[in-house]
Structure 1
């Protein structure tokens, strides 16, 4: 089922409220500024989904035909019936399909004060069918294995989402894509004033141009065909100094064992 303009209207009507709440603190991170459009002919990033909740739109990654990972901050205090997943289009408001959510599992040790283990698994009401996967060219994304190393410092990963592209909350017509460079854990701790836990890492743009903005929390970060992180917290939408504005991601390899357990219990 497609709920095009109703969903777009709800996001537009609540975007200012959501952005204000995100901007008032070290916020659950946000969307892509100075990214590039993902054309409808490019299905490489079709694992990227929009997570539609009452107050804010987030992003997420489709990890199999029935499960999506996003941030716990995106769906905290919500019931599964409050959340829907939009998938199968380079436009979050047209040409795709909306799936209901019947399960919402937040990491049991998620800490909202530090954003440690900031991840949730959404279970769709039914698995995507072969016909849906074929019609909408939907892909799932494999995950970095539990305990695996982070991508090398200086290497780049792809981030994709549908959120705002600047501090004025300009909404893109198309999914946005950018490449972000991985920093060393020591650099990340310096940039983020020693606020990173073992479940976090950061990646950004040394020039300070490519960043995340409102609507991109949960955005998947992918390297070598595997999901290595989802955006968790950060600032600026490209406004702050280059290094401190680097988005912080939840490290998939640190929470993958828990994800596997949720998937096994809800499949």
Structure 2
């Protein structure tokens, strides 16, 4: 079973105190001020995470917005608590997905290609210690480098609920070729694979969240096999999409822009 890590989980009011990414640790928002959460506010549903990359742009996964209306979604910044609705929220002006975003769902092959999107929000973000941008990479990440993943995804598997406290977990970047043993023909050079110990890792609800190394966002959480059972997790490699990202940041307000195939 292979799945994308988007969640549509109602946030419970009675959750265990140690809720977390599987095997993760509680994080403070001042450690990761670039973190954003996308929520369907009417039903208190956590959908995905994302990363602030400018005063008005959030980097996330394209699959997070399939069959979703932007008017139903609010963006929350500057909080560790995914149930904190007392802080100001941001509206989505538009979503620009990669023009070649594609989900392949066949018996012989399952994968998500070019799973990356730029979300433009309003009003503009005022940067401070609790909400600030993360830099884009300027070079390829090296295999073996350590990276940090953050999110509010499931804390247990196969049955779980999203975390009400931001979680962090250390991952190691591995060669994509090692992943072919588990996912033949499912990863390419525009994917990035990361791994941690068995019984730890990302899960549903962590989609769109950033993988960060040396102060740069190097990956956007896309898909994986089961949760925390010893298999690597797959990210969209941000370095591969720098031209797309920069083009959309400069022109995403233009509905005729060629940088995007999907404007919601």
Superposition TM-score, scaled by structure 2 size: 0.80
Structure 2, unmatched stretches of 5+, are 7-19, 105-110, 254-264
- Which residue number in structure 1 is paired with residue 131 of structure 2? 138
- Which residue number in structure 1 is paired with residue 56 of structure 2? 66
Q: CA deviation at 1:237?
A: 2.2
8 Å CA contact retained: 1:79, 1:104: no
Q: CA deviation at 1:56?
A: 5.3
Instruction: Tell me the secondary structure at the aligned position of residue 249 of structure 1.
Output: strand
Q: CA deviation at 1:51?
A: 1.4
- Which residue number in structure 2 is paired with residue 178 of structure 1? 169
Q: CA deviation at 1:173?
A: 3.3
- Which residue number in structure 2 is paired with residue 188 of structure 1? 179
Structure 1, unmatched stretches of 5+, are 1-24
- Which residue number in structure 2 is paired with residue 203 of structure 1? 194
Alignment of 1:106-185 (within 5 A): 106-113=97-104, 114-129=111-126, 133-134=127-128, 137-145=130-138, 148-149=139-140, 151-167=141-157, 168-185=159-176
- Which residue number in structure 2 is paired with residue 50 of structure 1? 37
- Which residue number in structure 1 is paired with residue 17 of structure 2? none
* Number of matched pairs: 229
Q: Structure 1 or 2: larger helix share?
A: 1
Runs (4+) of structure 1 moved beyond 3 Å?
53-56
Among candidates 211, 215, 218, match of residue 221 of structure 1: 211
Q: Would the alpha carbon gap of residues 162 and 56 (structure 1) be closer, same or farther in structure 2, given more than 3 Å must change?
A: closer
Instruction: Tell me the secondary structure at the aligned position of residue 222 of structure 2.
Output: strand
> Does residue 256 in structure 1 map to residue 246 in structure 2?
no
Q: CA deviation at 1:246?
A: 1.2
Cα RMSD of the aligned pairs, angstroms, is 2.0
8 Å CA contact retained: 2:37, 2:46: no
8 Å CA contact retained: 2:101, 2:116: yes
- Which residue number in structure 2 is paired with residue 33 of structure 1? 22
Instruction: Tell me the secondary structure at the aligned position of residue 100 of structure 1.
Output: strand
Superposition TM-score, scaled by structure 1 size: 0.79
8 Å CA contact retained: 1:64, 1:140: yes
